[in-house]
Structure 1
């Protein structure tokens, strides 16, 4: 019994770190011990300096109180490596996180065993990120993301001021469900308690978020998961330009080649699908069309105002093609270096 105690206390501390609050019964069930044993182990953790608080009410139990005196977190090998790699790459779409991530990484690597430091370095060397222009966009505040993530985890109602696309602002009181990163935009999926309906909020348009301290029972999301809900809402959003076409490709191929949301592509049969493109940026729609062959003219319809934008992009490509096919007057044409492309012609992409 005495030999098993240290390991059990470590498991207890690990559980307390994964959630805001646990009931004594939940902890006892997870550790396969009695409530009396849980109470005794909690007292020993407190004597070691861990600020474990007791909570009251129907959902009363135990939680780790935040504070500067909190002893180090417990991480297993896989968790430590995952955190270090994530800090090295620094999450996209989060404002000002790069410098903060480097400071946190320096602290973590000081205490990592040599074997784990080697793993982190190996993964990072083989998976260096490539900054790309199309991944840039509105950035979310990291402290806001952290607060919303905690509220989602704890099912705690939050309030905030929200600015709509039209510029109109208003007060919101919601039950957070999940955060979804749709590169580079972060979305909060939440139930609006005043409108009594599920809503989608862009985190970069959200200000003055504040937890209320009021926890609620989680509601059933009207979708298989949060990502599916976001995809469906984005696909159904009104847009200035739209194009509908029947294309000679199966739905999976059409989605992949046009980078479309699931709700924008519908199968007709194994070789044909319908494509609904929409947005306020006509160039984006034109670029999507470049990735796939279109069917006959009579299967294409959409916003007439989109036509000149498509024609403009087509003329640009045509001029570039004509320039490439003209004889080289200066004889300066050069072959592609052997190391500029792989065996599959990846350099052409």
Structure 2
């Protein structure tokens, strides 16, 4: 469909934009055309017909004139909500257009390949293989490139692919890392094509809940975006995170016992129960007097709401993951703490500490001035 017939079938607003892009392209003003295409891609959810027309009429011929990363970003945005039959052939065409050896061309190509691989994870059994292969190729490229920071578009796309593939494989540490990297780009042009932020934030928050390495949810509770998504998608999981962070072991255990939609297997339940117990143990140690170093198993069991027989295994896991250092005395049924991992300090507490230190510095300065005058 050429522009004239396309224009005749669409609204005045779309007609005006398409005509403006056409004039800019015909005049060789591809920077202006790029801005207009970004405007369409960022502010609208175009129909398949509209997106395909824009690609066929402007983006395909414009690939050689436009900044490759801008071109790739517009393509990804245009086809974000379009079904595979319309989108994938054109995205693959854009990949072929960026087959050059320049850094920007290669990075644009990789970003587009991530877009195709993301669709395949969802739609085809072999999607995981494609995702792993794409991520591996990007990693190899990044290892051989210069020390420039990764372009934001490629960072967003790579981390989207890492997040989805890691979620499927149960690698929650990678899900957290990828989710937080995407979070750093929220609200930017380079993340404008992402239409499932709530799902990303929910998966990132749930990965923190499921990951054996995360025991302190203070950082999560500071991230309002992640927290809101978790609260909306799974109120029970949200309450559980809050209870763990506040040390409300009884309520956390009750929530787990009653069942949570996100805990779908016995293994999930076991991981979270273990996390509750470990968090309770660490909180108990941190809140004990600083000169107290020996904790008997019965005391730990009471704090963690588990049986004394389970305490030794709990301590072994805490030691293995580096949450504490110390020695288990199985004969006497006690644990000698040498060091404990610090807990998360809330931002408001940091502000109070900063204010206190500022006042202390001022007091010391006044004292120094007084002594100098004597």
Query: TM-score, structure 2 length as denominator?
Result: 0.30
Structure holding more helix per residue: 2
| TM-score (norm. length: structure 1) | 0.32
Going by fraction, where is strand more abundant, 1 or 2? 1
